[in-house]
Amino acid sequence: MIKKNFLYFITIFFLFFKADNALSVINNSVIIAVGKEPITRLDLFKEIKLIAILSGGQITEENKDRIKDLAIKSLIKKSIKNIEIEKRNVKKYNKKDLENIINNTARNLGLDKSGLQELLERNNLSYKNLEEKFVIDLKWNTMIFEIYKNRISLNTVEIENKLNAQLKNLEDKDRVEEKIEALKKEIVNDEKNKKLRMFSNSHYSNLERVIQIKFL
């Protein structure tokens, strides 16, 4: 896996940064300004590498522009979220969720946490930067919940209908009451998360319209 991803890195390198002297091309010049937050050419190069490694998909001439666009959008989104959480002084996030995200990311690549760290290091990427990227998303989620928690309204009829539909497929009739409560809790949590995702998307879209984004 590590060797395979290293080859992806080489492919990306030549596709996106063709030049006799790579260091003269991949420099730290600012290419995008999101509010007062700069995004450099090096940031973009690293984000492209990271996307290739974490997705496990090879970068080709056919998809290189799409991957580059994904990397740009990812960096802009990270900057916008960071501006907002710093403005609101958001510090809290669920450390257990962070650990789960890291472990799931590693598992998707057939690795453990230490294997993920080694993979990033071999590709000259920072594990700490990846962790910070996840932390920004988790702080954002904390912020969205605090802002919109009192505006979450659930359709009780819809929840009951979903519960009844799942109960029809319940084969094991032992401890039915416990299972009903567990299913109901799961459905309610799913509905709350859907509402929070809706608020999150709306909040981000509003910021995207307000915060100035300049391509330099």
CA atoms of 14 and 216, how far apart (whole Å): 23
Cβ(196)–Cβ(144) under 8 Å? yes
Tokens describing residue 165: 């539909």
Structural domain includes residue 37? yes
Structural domain includes residue 120? yes
Structural domain includes residue 39? yes
User: Alpha carbon of 193 to those of 144, 148, 152, 198: distances in Å?
Assistant: 11, 11, 10, 9
* Residues near 130 by beta carbon (within 8 Å), at least 6 away in sequence: 50, 105, 120
The three state secondary structure string of 115-174 is: HHHHHHHHCCCCHHHHHHHHHHHHHHHHHHHHHHHHHCCCCHHHHHHHHHHHHHCCCCCC
- Tally of structural domains, the chain: 1
The closest of 142, 127, 48 to 89, measured between CA atoms, is: 142
Structural domain includes residue 64? yes
* Residues near 143 by beta carbon (within 8 Å), at least 6 away in sequence: 84, 85, 88, 90
Predicted pLDDT at 59? 74
Amino acid at 107: R
Predicted pLDDT at 114? 96
Structural domain includes residue 45? yes
Tokens describing residue 51: 């996307």
Beta bridge partners of 34: 37, 213
* pLDDT tens across the length of the chain (216 residues): 444 444 444 444 444 444 334 444 556 899 999 999 999 999 999 999 999 899 876 777 888 888 899 999 999 999 999 999 999 999 999 999 999 999 999 999 999 999 999 999 998 999 999 999 999 999 999 999 999 999 999 888 998 888 888 877 776 666 777 878 888 899 999 999 999 999 999 999 999 999 999 999
Structural domain includes residue 154? no
Structural domain includes residue 157? no
Q: Supply φ then ψ for residue 32, to 5 degrees.
A: -140, 140
Residue 26: other Cβ atoms inside 10 A: 18
Structural domain includes residue 31? yes
Residue 40: other Cβ atoms inside 10 A: 16
Beta bridge partners of 40: 30
CA atoms of 166 and 211, how far apart (whole Å): 44
Cβ(133)–Cβ(98) under 8 Å? no
Tokens describing residue 59: 């970068």
Output the domain CATH number for residue 98.
1.10.4030.10
Tokens describing residue 170: 């319940």
Full residue range of the structural domain in which residue 39 is found: 2-147
How many residues does this entry show for the chain?
216
